[in-house]
């Protein structure tokens, strides 16, 4: 880590911790850069009590102060309720994308100001760059395989100006090796792949346990034939093939979840779209996203593809893309920098 530096002025920084390997090693990287590091772990819900305990253990090991921040009410309002409502409407939301600007980073920034910390930091694999126009933008990290820039596209300028992302220069295995050298218990812990507030991954059970009633309806085949009732729109997402519970004699995909609760199926190759519309657009500086050509990601793990944006919400692809899902985000890039993004509304 010798010679690795991001800021000319080294100062106090508040680091969002989870007890996992990424945020834990980020502490040491920042300390090596000369920062005075304090930790903060956010309790979003009762499902996060384990993360709070793990963060306490890590902070004790690293001998840094740890602040436990309560976000249960804000998380319920801004994340859990919209998540459930969107699934009940047949959409596929990404709760992290909504949580980051409205809850997680906002709370970190407020606590940092209270503590007199000039900066905030997290263990995301991304970078922040100050561009020639003076705008701070999220940038892709060195590790293409771990790229989390998609998740941060809605962060506003007041957050980006304070944000340090120390893992943006490293590969995941570099971070694990550092953790082993630091004798951290989390060095070889597997990465979490589920939504943090539904650790068992059963979205439908979670939504229904909270009293929601997702829409019922029928499956309709590529030829329009009624293939019988489905289990509720909360069990499906656009592009899904497995778990449909129908025997059609050939592979079928979810093409569209209709507003009345019915689900349109398609054969292989018919799940592609050449156009979509986005709503609730966000950019780093709060200005409208200019029309033009961009590289765009339509889901967090997707590769960026070329598109044309018309400046008013319509995205066109020269090569059709597979199963863009309403409720997910389309995030626009140029030269590895995030220029903005929006929630996918409709597809063609």
134 is in an annotated binding site: no
21 is in an annotated binding site: yes
123 is in an annotated binding site: yes
Give the side-chain half-sphere CA count within 13 A for 254.
27
292 is in an annotated binding site: no
| Paired tokens of 225 | 């034939």
16 is in an annotated binding site: yes
Rounded Cα distance between 304 and 291, Å, is: 17
CA distances from 38 to 23, 43, 101 (A): 12, 17, 21
Name residue, tokens 């920084």: 13
The CB-based long-range contact list for 204-212 (8 Å cut-off, 24+ gap) reads: 204/87, 204/231, 204/232, 204/234, 204/235, 207/84, 207/87, 207/88, 207/234, 208/234, 210/80, 210/84, 212/84, 212/85, 212/87, 212/88
291 is in an annotated binding site: no
18 is in an annotated binding site: yes
Active site (catalytic) residues: 99, 196
Rounded Cα distance between 243 and 69, Å, is: 39
42 is in an annotated binding site: yes
Annotated binding site for ATP: 16-23, 42, 123
Annotated binding site: 16-23, 42, 123
């Amino acid at each position: 880590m010798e010679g690795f530096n991001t800021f000319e002025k080294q100062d106090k920084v508040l680091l969002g911790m989870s007890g996992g390997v990424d945020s834990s090693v980020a502490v040491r990287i920042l300390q090596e850069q000369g920062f005075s590091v304090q930790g903060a772990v956010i309790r979003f819900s009762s499902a996060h009590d384990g993360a709070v305990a793990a963060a306490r253990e890590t902070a004790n090991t690293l001998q840094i102060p740890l602040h436990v921040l309560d976000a249960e009410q804000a998380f319920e309002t801004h994340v859990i309720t919209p998540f459930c409502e969107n699934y009940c409407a047949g959409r596929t939301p990404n709760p992290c994308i909504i949580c980051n600007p409205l809850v997680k980073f906002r709370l970190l920034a407020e606590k940092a100001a209270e503590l007199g910390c000039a900066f905030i930091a997290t263990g995301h694999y991304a970078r922040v760059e100050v561009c020639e126009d003076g705008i701070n933008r999220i940038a892709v990290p060195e590790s293409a395989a771990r790229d989390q820039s998609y998740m941060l596209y809605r962060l506003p300028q007041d957050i980006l100006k304070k944000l340090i992302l120390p893992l943006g220069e490293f590969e995941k295995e570099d971070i694990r090796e550092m953790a082993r050298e630091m004798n951290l218990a989390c060095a070889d812990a597997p990465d979490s792949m589920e939504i943090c507030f539904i650790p068992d991954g059963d979205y439908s059970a979670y939504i229904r346990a909270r009293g929601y009633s997702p829409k019922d309806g029928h499956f309709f085949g590529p030829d329009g034939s009624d293939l019988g009732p489905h289990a509720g729109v909360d069990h499906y997402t656009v592009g899904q093939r497995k778990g449909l519970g129908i025997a059609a004699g050939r592979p079928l995909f979810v093409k569209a979840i209709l507003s009345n609760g019915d689900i349109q199926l398609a054969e292989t190759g018919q799940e592609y779209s050449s156009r979509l519309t986005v709503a609730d657009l966000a950019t780093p500086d709060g200005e409208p996203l200019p029309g033009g050509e961009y590289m765009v990601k339509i889901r967090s793990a997707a590769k960026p593809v070329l598109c044309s944006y018309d400046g008013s919400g319509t995205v066109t692809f020269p090569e059709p893309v597979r199963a863009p899902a309403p409720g997910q985000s389309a995030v626009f890039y140029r030269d590895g920098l995030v220029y903005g993004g929006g929630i996918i509304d409709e597809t063609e």
